Amino acid sequence: MKPTLGTVFLLASMTLAAQAWATTLPDACGNDKVKFDVSTQKDQPAPGAPEAGKAQVVFVESFDQNIGFCIGCKVTTRVGLDGAWVGANKGNSYFALTIAPGEHHVCADWQSVLGKLKQKAGMTSFTAEAGKVYYYEVKVKEEEFGGDKDASYEYSLVLTPLSEDEGKYRVKAWELATATPK
C-alpha cells in the first residue's frame, strides 16, 4: 500500500509541530525530553538551614480539585531553574535545594504526554540572598464546567511565592518528593 501525498504532508506537518512545541518552553525550563519518576515519603524532617553563603528554595505542589472525582490527583510537575530541570513533585509534596545568591529564573510545568496539559507552565524570577529561604507553590487546578452530560474540564498550573509561614506549614503537612530522571 503506497502512502498518498496527503498522508506524507500530514506526517511532515505533525513532525514540524512536535519540533515547534519542543522549542516553546520558557528559557527558565530545561530540555523537554527530560522526564522524572517521583517517589514521596511521609513525615520527613524539614530541610535544615541553607549552607553558609547560600540560599535555599523550597517548591511545593498542591492539587486543587473542584469536582467530585479526580482525573489527575497525582500530577507530576517539573521545576526548572535557570534553564535546567532541578526536580519534580507529585501530588501534595515538596522538595528543597540550595542555590547561590543572585538572580534566578524559575519554570514549572505539567509533565504529561498530552499536548493540552504539556502547555501548562508557570514562570517567575527572584533574587536570592545568602541565608534566606524562599518558598514557591506549583498549584495544579482542575475545574469542571457544565452538567453531567456536557461536562468539560479546565486545567491550570500557577507558580507563586508563598509566605514563610505558609511554606513551613506545607513542608510539615506535605510529603517529601524525590525525583529521579528517567
Q: Which of 181, 112, 98, 174 is nearest to 142 (CA)?
A: 112
Sort 150 into a burial class: Cβ within 10 Å, 0-12 / 13-18 / 19+: exposed
- Beta strands, E only, the chain: 36-41, 55-65, 76-81, 84-90, 93-99, 102-110, 121-128, 133-145, 152-162, 175-181
Residue 17 falls inside a structural domain: no
Q: Which of 88, 73, 95 is nearest to 29 (CA)?
A: 88
The range of the structural domain enclosing residue 65 comes to 27-181
The pLDDT value recorded for residue 102 is 98
Q: Is-contact 91 63, C-beta < 8 A? A: yes
pTM to 2 decimal places: 0.79
Confidence band for 45, pLDDT divided at 50, 70 and 90: very high
How far is residue 18's CA from residue 34's CA, in Å, rounded to a whole number? 15
How far is residue 7's CA from residue 138's CA, in Å, rounded to a whole number? 40
Residue 8 falls inside a structural domain: no
The pLDDT value recorded for residue 120 is 76
The pLDDT value recorded for residue 75 is 81
Residue 11 falls inside a structural domain: no
Q: What percent of the chain has pLDDT over 70?
A: 75
Count up the domains in the chain and report the number: 1
Q: What are 7-39's pLDDT values in tens digits?
A: 433 344 444 344 444 447 788 899 988 999 999
The pLDDT value recorded for residue 12 is 40
Q: What are 105-127's pLDDT values in tens digits?
A: 999 998 865 555 656 789 999 99
If you search the block for the grid coordinates 535555599, which residue do you land on? 56
